[in-house]
Each structure stands twice: as C-alpha cells, then as structure tokens.
Structure 1
Amino acid sequence: MSDPTPQEVERYIAQGLACEHLQVEGDGRHFFATIVSRDFEGKTRVARHQRVYQALGDRMREQIHALSMKTLTPAEWAQTTSTQGHHH
C-alpha cells in the first residue's frame, strides 16, 4: 500500500468527522493536520485526538503515529484567526 497523500488524509478525516475547517500538510511520511470541528466542544485534547483517530479508522493504522494535529473548536479557531486580522 502506498503512502497516503495529504489530500487523502484530509478526505479520510472529513468522511468520519464534520469539520468547519480542515487542512492537512505532509510529505507522505509525516503529516500535520489543523482540524476545526464542533465535535471537539467540551472535549479534552486527548479526547479530540481519539475522535480523529476514530474518524480515520483502520485506513491509517500504520501511519497514524506520523500524524500530528491541532484540534480546535470553531470558537477557538475564531480566536486564533482573529489575531491575524480576518473579519467576518
């Protein structure tokens, strides 16, 4: 099985998790995902990560250790983006 592309990882996550914002970068070996989902509200960081692993399921069992992620709720995401001068 070939290494997944960032786009594939993105698609896998999106299939299992409703995301407000989703961005995956990577080189096939290491991935960095920024995931914004209402599902994360009221959850700890560990619980959020477990939720993402759940979404990925077996598809990335081997690659999952190479995935680092930033998991944010829409409110947390709004706070991080508002500092960059984005206005709604």
Structure 2
Amino acid sequence: MEQNALVQFLPLIVLFAIFYFLIIRPQQKQAKAHKEMLNSLTKGDKIVTNGGLIVEVVKTEDDYLKIRLNDDVVAKLDKNFVARKVENTNNSEATK
C-alpha cells in the first residue's frame, strides 16, 4: 500500500523538481548576483537605472546612492532602482 502511494506522488515530485530547477533556482542566482553587484558599487562607476538613465555613482550609502546626472545635478537614488552596472565601453565608442 505504501508503494502505491509513492507511485501516486511521484509525478508531483518530478513536476516540483522541474519547476525548482527551471524557475526558482535561476531567479535566486540572479537576485544574488544583483545584490553582489549593488554591494560592489563604488565612486565613479556608471550604472543604468530602471528608468533607463545612465548615471555616475558619486557616493554609496546603506540604502541609497548619490548619483551624478550631469555636471550640475546630483541626486539620491534608492538602490532598488539600479538595473545594472555599465561595463567599460571605450572600445565601442572609439569605433564610432
């Protein structure tokens, strides 16, 4: 009787395993990498905000970043609104 119950739950267990490895685990890895990127930001780094602005980090604080929009404007940005860090693009700009 126990073997019959195990056979009944086996498809459910397999579906959960597939769901875990295809959806949950990659999202956890992506969230961990994003958090590490936020913690590694330093003065002078260029970032892209969720709004699409490319800005320069002036100062890092616990929950916020002070960012420079242009030569005159410095603003405060919540770390939750950082989409990604801009990598060095000197090579692509030199070819233009």
Q: Which of the five TM-score ranges fits, normalised by the shorter chain?
A: under 0.3
* TM-score normalized by the length of structure 2: 0.24
Q: Which one has a bigger Cα radius of gyration?
A: 2
Higher relative contact order (CA 8 A, sep 6+): 1
* TM-score normalized by the length of structure 1: 0.25
